[in-house]
């Protein structure tokens, strides 16, 4: 059957996840509550005894409590991606704090996993169903592959049917039972979640009477249900097919576990729906998709009409709309006054436009924004990316929308704080992934990755043995004799004064930056992959108030820790960090917003869904790790400080030949426009732009 693949038999199961999530997690309540309810009420469901008398799975064990908190400031730990800090306190329950729900597909200690209840054969089986069971048993002897499509899937499905003596799941007395009718109805409307019902074909039971044909129809519906659960749980398109800069650890549910849930479900539709994400942002997109398909307007705002350029003193009927759009109070007339011109000028500066205060056609285009030609497709692409993520984001978590260049701190279903970020250039995109923040480093040391030392810095040392010392870098020898290069803590450090560590395979992190002028731009794709935070001190204070409440980590206290010595503040409970790519989202006012596809993720994903590749799109592909690219992602924006590149020439452009990263990955993005009137700011913007990521 289409979509059922070998790779689908992965370690964790949706049933385990649904039960584990029931312990908490207000943010992802619907799936976890539904999943638990399905298991708890299965035994009492009012269904025919001949086919639906299976016991409910066992209750999950409670999560272990996190370990005790560490001291306020621990000794310095290694940089992200290196060995874990020796003093780090590892929570017994990975994810958020001890009351948060276990992520839907997170690895769970063996002793904490719910034990799958046995699924015995129905107590009574009709003569017709017994004949179908005999046919199913015969298909299991080497013929399941024709209906199922893979040995691992066959083994899991056969285990389910064997435990019930091959009694059919979807048939009672040779007819489609209520369970089959509910499953068929649900699969017929999965387009509401941006999926294609054609990927989950269902049999016409009513036209069949032969036990052999009914047995094959039984397996056809089984395969479609299992395929749907796979796609809903971890994605219709496997993320490896889109980019090597994406990584998630969610596992597809085991086919046998999916079928066990169906067998014990009081509400099959709710049980199937529980495999989809239920985070509010996903549900809001789902609602907007329905509106667009119903012919309702998708635009977040009514565009302001075109017309002549407006200068101070011009009377124009568009002025009231302009004032409202820019957040100004209404005026008595429609004159384009100085207050409005100043607001337009600020908007122009924020959107990399010439800041004149005159309303030009380009300014009007930026004010109006633009909706994509096919908004439903963009929404579908974003809903698919939500499926890749953990379906339980955590009780307290950080979520970054790379396409919107914004970071949000969430707790108990509410936004606690948000700030602007700078993320990767289009040719060095910030990865899409989920990880756990474990500690904050105050006064970080920047250690140059070994591959960059060999390819960039060693040639420089050969040309000028004193160049690195003059640039404030320390050169030493590792025990194996290789050269180690680092930048000590301080105001000139490429990472600033704070680094936020969530160890991951890409070695990226969030950090401070001296280049504050970059945050004035609306599109902030300027780094080599790491994220620069606009207000890192406030960010640290907000996070520490959540993980170390009552310990007094005010902004002033954090600033008093600035100095020459690197130190770590450990998190007693880790905070999930989700780096997302939401080119379509619903804002706090209920308006559908679109953002540019700066990394081309929508384009690639939609191309897969519309091509022949979609037939195998749920099968992961192998991507070989590019260590040089990985190390480049962990680098500050260039091997230079003080306005000079490592080899001489302007820092941002990299001189005539370009810097190492530009030579390796392509030309840099143009420097953002710097406002006039502050010569020193403009000089710093040019000289220090690449001093940190």
What residues pair up with 439 in beta bridges, in sequence order? 501, 570
pLDDT at residue number 146: 63
∠ CA 451-457-458, rounded to 5°: 90
Q: Which of 42-51, 235-244, 420-429, 522-531 has the lowest mean pLDDT?
A: 42-51
pLDDT at residue number 413: 93
The backbone torsions φ and ψ at residue 397, rounded to the nearest 5 degrees and listed phi first, read -160, 165
- Please name which of 212, 242, 229 lies closest in space to residue 134, comparing C-alpha atoms: 212
* Mean confidence (pLDDT) of the chain: 77
Is pLDDT above 70 for 438? yes
Which tens digits make up the pLDDT trace of 132-144? 999 998 877 665 6
Crossing angle between the packed helical segments 255-264 and 151-163, to the nearest 10 degrees: 30
Burial of 470 by CB count in 10 Å (0-12 exposed, 13-18 middle, 19+ buried)?
exposed
Cα→Cα distances 670→93, 366, 405, 425, 644, Å: 45, 19, 17, 10, 17
Q: What is the mean pLDDT of residues 576-602?
A: 95
Instruction: Return the number of other C-beta atoms located less than 10 Å from residue 478's C-beta.
Output: 10
Which tens digits make up the pLDDT trace of 118-169? 455 566 778 889 999 999 988 776 656 666 766 678 889 999 999 999 999 9
Tokens of 397: 């978590």
- Please name which of 394, 404, 415 lies closest in space to residue 542, comparing C-alpha atoms: 415
DSSP code per residue over 634-645: TS-S-S-BTTB-
The winner for highest mean pLDDT among 92-96, 356-360, 465-469, 660-664 is 356-360
Is pLDDT above 90 for 98? no
Give strand ranges (E) for 201-307. 246-247
pLDDT at residue number 635: 58
Is pLDDT above 70 for 667? no
Is pLDDT above 80 for 442? yes
Percent of the chain exceeding pLDDT 90 equals 50
What residues pair up with 406 in beta bridges, in sequence order? 401, 420
Q: Tell me the pLDDT band of 366, cut-offs 50, 70 and 90.
A: confident
pLDDT at residue number 301: 64
Which tens digits make up the pLDDT trace of 38-59? 333 333 333 333 334 333 333 3
Is pLDDT above 70 for 91? no
Instruction: Return the number of other C-beta atoms located less than 10 Å from residue 459's C-beta.
Output: 12
Q: What pTM does this model have?
A: 0.71
The winner for highest mean pLDDT among 126-135, 180-189, 488-497 is 180-189
Q: What is the mean pLDDT of residues 221-233?
A: 96
When comparing pLDDT for 292 and 452, which is higher?
A: 292
Q: What is the mean pLDDT of residues 349-353?
A: 71
Burial of 312 by CB count in 10 Å (0-12 exposed, 13-18 middle, 19+ buried)?
middle
Q: Tell me the pLDDT band of 640, cut-offs 50, 70 and 90.
A: very low
pLDDT at residue number 678: 36
Q: Which of 77-91, 135-149, 388-402 has the lowest mean pLDDT?
A: 77-91
Q: Which of 41-55, 176-190, 351-365 has the lowest mean pLDDT?
A: 41-55
pLDDT at residue number 352: 66
Q: Which of 11-15, 70-74, 312-316, 531-535 has the lowest mean pLDDT?
A: 11-15
Q: What is the mean pLDDT of residues 633-648?
A: 45
Please enumerate in sequence order all residues whose Cβ is within 8 A of that of 297, keeping only pairs 6 or more positions apart, or say none. Answer: none
Is pLDDT above 70 for 613? yes
pLDDT at residue number 370: 66
Strand order in the sheet with 483-487: 446-447, 483-487, 474-477
pLDDT at residue number 660: 38
pLDDT at residue number 62: 38
Q: Tell me the pLDDT band of 29, cut-offs 50, 70 and 90.
A: very low
Cα→Cα distances 470→462, 465, 527, 646, 683, Å: 15, 10, 24, 11, 21
């Amino acid at each position: 059957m289409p979509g059922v693949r070998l790779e689908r038999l992965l370690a964790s199961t949706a049933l385990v996840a649904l039960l584990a999530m029931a312990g908490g997690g207000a943010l992802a309540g619907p799936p976890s509550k539904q999943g638990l309810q399905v298991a708890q009420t299965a035994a009492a469901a009012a269904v025919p005894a001949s086919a639906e008398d299976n016991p409910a799975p066992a209750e999950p064990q409670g999560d272990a409590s996190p370990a005790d908190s560490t001291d306020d400031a621990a000794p310095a730990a290694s940089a992200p991606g290196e060995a874990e800090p020796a003093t780090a306190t590892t929570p017994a329950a990975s994810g958020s704090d001890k009351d948060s729900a276990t992520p839907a597909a997170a690895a769970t200690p063996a002793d904490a996993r719910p034990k799958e209840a046995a699924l015995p054969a129905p107590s009574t089986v009709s003569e017709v169903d017994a004949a179908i069971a005999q046919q199913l048993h015969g298909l299991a002897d080497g013929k399941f592959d024709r209906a199922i499509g893979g040995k691992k899937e066959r083994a899991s499905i056969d285990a389910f049917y064997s435990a019930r003596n091959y009694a059919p799941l979807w048939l009672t007395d040779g007819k489609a039972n209520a369970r089959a009718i509910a499953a068929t109805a649900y699969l017929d409307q999965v387009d509401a979640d941006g999926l294609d019902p054609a990927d989950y074909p269902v049999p016409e039971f009513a036209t069949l009477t032969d036990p052999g044909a009914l047995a094959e129809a039984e397996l056809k519906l089984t395969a479609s249900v299992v395929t749907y659960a796979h796609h809903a749980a971890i994605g219709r398109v496997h993320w490896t097919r889109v980019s090597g800069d994406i990584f998630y650890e969610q596992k597809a549910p085991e086919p046998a576990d999916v079928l066990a849930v169906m067998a014990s479900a009081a509400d099959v539709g709710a049980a199937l729906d529980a495999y989809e994400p239920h985070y509010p942002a996903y549900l809001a997109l789902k609602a907007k998709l329905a509106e667009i398909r119903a012919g309702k307007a998708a635009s977040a705002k009514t565009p302001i009409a075109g017309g002549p350029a407006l200068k101070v003193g011009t009377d124009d009927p568009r002025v009231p709309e302009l004032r409202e759009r820019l957040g100004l109070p209404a005026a008595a007339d429609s004159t384009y006054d100085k207050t409005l011109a100043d607001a337009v000028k600020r908007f122009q500066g924020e959107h990399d436009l010439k800041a004149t205060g005159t309303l030009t056609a380009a300014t009007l285009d930026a004010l109006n924004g633009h909706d994509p030609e096919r908004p439903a497709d963009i929404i579908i692409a974003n809903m698919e990316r939500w499926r890749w993520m953990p379906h339980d984001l955590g009780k307290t978590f950080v979520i970054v929308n790379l396409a919107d260049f914004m970071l949000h701190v969430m707790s108990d279903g509410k936004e606690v704080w948000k700030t602007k970020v700078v993320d990767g250039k289009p040719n060095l995109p910030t990865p899409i992934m989920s990880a756990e923040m474990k500690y904050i480093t105050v006064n970080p040391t920047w250690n140059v990755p070994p591959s960059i030392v060999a390819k960039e810095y060693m040639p420089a040392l050969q040309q000028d043995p004193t160049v690195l010392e003059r640039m404030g870098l320390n050169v030493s020898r590792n025990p194996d004799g290789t050269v180690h290069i680092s930048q000590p803590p301080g105001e000139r450090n490429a990472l600033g004064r704070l680094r936020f560590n969530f160890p991951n395979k890409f070695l990226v992190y969030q950090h401070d930056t001296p280049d504050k002028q970059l945050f004035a731009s609306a599109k902030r794709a300027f780094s080599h992959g790491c994220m620069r935070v606009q207000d890192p001190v406030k960010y640290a204070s907000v996070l520490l108030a959540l993980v170390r409440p009552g310990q007094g980590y005010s902004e002033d206290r954090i600033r008093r820790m600035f100095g020459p010595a690197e130190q770590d503040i450990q998190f007693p409970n880790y905070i999930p960090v989700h780096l997302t790519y939401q080119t379509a989202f619903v804002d706090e006012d209920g308006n559908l917003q679109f953002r540019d596809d700066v990394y081309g993720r929508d384009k690639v994903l939609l191309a897969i869904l519309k091509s022949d590749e979609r037939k195998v799109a749920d099968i992961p592909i192998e991507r070989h790790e590019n260590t040089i690219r990985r190390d480049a992602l962990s680098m500050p924006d260039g091997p230079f400080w003080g306005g000079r590149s490592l080899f001489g020439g302007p820092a941002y452009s990299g001189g005539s030949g370009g810097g190492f990263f530009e030579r390796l990955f392509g030309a840099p993005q143009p420097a953002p426009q710097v406002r006039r009137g502050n010569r020193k700011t403009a000089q710093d913007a040019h000289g220090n732009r690449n001093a940190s990521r």
